[in-house]
Structure 1
Amino acid sequence: MDRRSLIKAMAALPLATGMAAAMAADAGRPLIRPRRLRKGMTVGLVSPASNVPEDDHIAFAMDVVRSLGFEVKPAQHLYQRTQYLAGTDQQRADDLNAMFADGEVDAIFCLRGGYGSSRLLPLLDYELIGANPKVLMGYSDITALHCAIHQRTGLVTFHGPIAGDNFTPYSYAQFRQTLMRARPDQVLAAPPPFEDPGPGRVEKDNRLTVLHPGVAEGPLLGGNLSLVCHLMGTPWEPEFSGRMLFLEDVSEAPYRVDRMLTQLRLSGALDRVAGIAFGKFTDAETSGNSFSMEHVLRERTAGLGVPVIRGLMIGHVEDQAVIPVGAAARLDAGNATLTLLEPGVV
Structure 2
Amino acid sequence: MNRVGITAPSGNVLDIEAVERARALFEGRGWDVAVGESVYSSSMRFGGSSESARTSDFNHMCMKEELVLCARGGYGFSRILPGVDFSVIAQKGTWVAGFSDITFFSLAYLALTGGKSLQAPTASVLGNLECDPYTIETFFNVLGATDYTLDFHTPFHDFETEGKLWGGNLSILCAALGTPYFPRIKGGILFVEDVDEPAYKIERNLNQLIQSGVIENQKAVLLGDFSQVRRSAHDFGYGLDEALSFASMHTSTPFISGLPFGHKMKMATLVVGAQSVLSIRSHKALLTMKGCPAFRERIRL
Bin for the TM-score computed over the shorter chain: 0.7 to 0.9
Query: Equivalents in 1 of 2:102, 2:164: separation in Å?
Result: 19
Q: Which blocks of at least 5 consecutive residues in structure 2 are unaligned?
A: 295-301
Aligned to 1:21: none
| 8 Å CA contact retained: 2:36, 2:61 | yes
> Which residue of 111, 121, 125 maps to 1:151?
111
Matched to 2:155, the amino acid is T
TM-score (norm 1): 0.77
User: How far is the alpha carbon of 1:44 from its aligned partner?
Assistant: 0.4
CA distance in 2, matches of 1:54, 1:301: 38
* Identity, % of aligned positions: 30
Residue 74, structure 1, aligned to residue 19, structure 2: no
Cross-structure match for 2:242: 295
Aligned match of 1:225 in 166, 170, 174? 170
Give the deviation of 1:177 after TM superposition.
2.5
Higher mean displacement: 213-222 or 91-100 = 213-222
Q: Does 1:136 align with 2:91?
A: no
Aligned residues: 286
Q: 1:106 aligns with which of 38, 62, 66?
A: 66
What is the deviation of 1:91?
1.6
Q: Aligned-pair distance for 1:284?
A: 0.8
CA shift in 2, pair 1:272/1:299, >3 Å: same
> Which residue matches 1:343?
291
* Alignment partner of 1:278 is 2:239: no
Q: Deviations over 1:24-55 (max 9, x none)?
A: xxxxxxxxxxxxxxxx4221011010111254
- Residue 231 of structure 1 contacts residue 238 of structure 1 at CA under 8 Å; is this kept in 2? no
**1:43-122 → structure 2 map (5 Å cutoff):** 43-53=4-14, 55-87=16-48, 88-102=50-64, 105-122=65-82
Greater alpha carbon shift after TM alignment, 256-265 vs 167-176: 167-176
- Where structure 1 has 5 or more consecutive residues not aligned to the other structure, the ranges are 1-39, 191-206
Q: Residue deviations 1:108-143, cap 9 Å, x none?
A: 111111111111111111221111112211111111
Separation in 1, partners of 2:107, 2:290: 19
Q: 2:141 aligns with which of 165, 168, 177?
A: 177
Distance 1:144 1:338 in 2: 27
Contact 2:193/2:261 (CA < 8 Å) preserved in 1? yes
Q: Distance in 2 between matches of 1:79 and 1:275?
A: 40
Give the structure 1 partner of residue 299 of structure 2: none
**Match of 1:14?**
none
Q: Report how far residue 231 of structure 1 moved.
A: 0.2
Tell me the residue number matched to 1:311: 258
AA in 2 matched with 1:96: F
- Taking the aligned partners of 1:333 and 1:296, their CA distance within structure 2 comes to 24
Question: Which of 313, 317, 331 is the aligned partner of 2:278?
Answer: 331
**TM-score, normalization by structure 2:** 0.87
Distance 1:336 1:257, change over 3 A: farther
Change in CA separation of 1:68 and 1:111 when aligned onto 2, cut-off 3 Å = farther
* Greater shift in the superposed pair: 221-230 or 260-269: 260-269
**Cα distance, 1:172 vs structure 2:** 2.2
Give how far 1:341 is off.
4.6
C-alpha RMSD over aligned residues: 2.1
CA 1:217–1:121: 2 relative to 1, 3 Å: same
For 1:297 and 1:310, the matched residues in 2 are separated by 10
SS at the partner of 2:150?
Answer: coil
Instruction: State the 1:189 CA deviation.
Output: 5.6
Q: Could you say what secondary structure the match of 2:218 adopts?
A: coil
CA distance in 1, matches of 2:217, 2:223: 17
**Residues of 1 paired with 2:250 and 2:162: CA distance?**
18
Instruction: Name the stretch that deviates more: 155-164 or 91-100.
Output: 91-100
Residue identity in the other structure for 1:172: I
Question: Residues 188 and 135 (structure 1 numbering): CA distance in 2 closer, same or farther, change over 3 Å?
Answer: same
